[in-house]
Homo-oligomer: A and B are copies of this chain.
Amino acid sequence: MRTRFILIETSHAGNVGSVARAMKVMGFDDLVLVRPRWADVLQREEALALASGADDVLARARIVPTLDEALDGVSHVCATAMTPRDFGPPTVAPRAHLAELAARLLSPAAASLGVTAADPAGQADGVAPTASVSAVPTGVAFLFGSERYGMKNEDVYRSHACLCIPTAPDYGSLNLAAAVQLIAYEWRQALGGFALPASGAPQPRAADAQAVAGLLAHWEQALVAVGFLDPAAPRKLLPRLNQLCNRAEPTEEEIHILRGVARAMLQTAAQARR
């Protein structure tokens, strides 16, 4: 499955670099620029500086004169725009739309049939059409308009969906690379996401409730010994500490630490009484 990011008439070289970085961090590397302001944008200093290690994405990026030339091998085209266009595709939230697209893509039917949306229609042989209602997308492209004007109507009309990132009603001014970052993240999440780095430390075991009760009994003695708890007027201190412990869900190691504190309090109190 091809995932392509297409920037149309981008003005700032720095944004192109930031876009490359935003893509790579989410595991995408297919970048096409349509009529960028600078013909040498992929080699410009600001682009390389902001790519910050994603210069391989810049190195393999293509520059083309028309959107048509950017769309080879792509069957599903997502415009991005803040304002819906009459006669354009439906305006949809990225999360919902990309989840649906990924579900079509990752369905067992898609994998086993090997259906491609690029199958030539029309005067082919007499094979019956497949049973699937939705064609399986072969590639998806995300289109981003220029920093100043956004997407042109004619480019939105080309698209199957118009993704609109939900923003504050009074301030929808998303930076181009920020928009690419959010879409790349949502698409990666829809495709199953990346794993979190594993912690080197072993997963701590929560102490059982019996261990917590033992801890509290130990602390009760210690708090009496240091004069904080008056057994004649306990003021619900132990139930409070019990709730605090329950919320904290201490590990076995932490129980040991806290019992060590109680032990030290008791020893100190014994010394003070001598």
Contacts and interface: CB of A to CB of B under 8 A. Distances in A.
A11 to B, nearest CB: 14
Contacts of A168: 24-27, 194
Contact of A22 (B126, B169, B178, B240): B178
Interface in A1-35: 18, 21-22, 24-27
B199 A84 contact: yes
A128 B178 CA distance: 49
Given A21-B175, A129-B239, A247-B133, A84 B54 contact: no
Nearest to A189: B95
Contacts of A91: 196-197, 199
Copies assembled: 2
Contacts of A84: 197-201
Interface string A231-274: 00001110110011011000000000000000000000000000
A193 interface: yes
Interface string A93-135: 1010000000000000000000000000111111111000111
A229 B237 CA distance: 89
A173 B133 contact: no
A240 B121 contact: yes
A153 interface: no
Given A126-B236, A239-B128, A135 B247 contact: yes
Contact of A197 (B164, B200, B243): B164
Given A53-B173, A173-B25, A182-B181, A126 B235 contact: yes
A173 B52 contact: yes
A24 B170 CA distance: 9
Contacts of A239: 128-129
A195 interface: yes
A124 B128 CA distance: 79
A149 interface: no
A274 to B, nearest CB: 28
Most B CB atoms within 10 A — which of A52, A133, A185, A235? A185
Interface of A: 18, 21-22, 24-27, 50, 52-54, 82-84, 86-87, 91-93, 95, 121-129, 133-135, 164-169, 171-175, 177-178, 181-182, 185, 188-189, 193-201, 235-237, 239-240, 243-244, 246-247
19 contacts: A21-B173, A24-B168, A25-B168, A25-B172, A27-B167, A27-B171, A53-B171, A54-B171, A84-B198, A84-B201, A122-B240, A126-B235, A129-B240, A133-B243, A134-B247, A166-B195, A169-B194, A181-B182, A182-B182
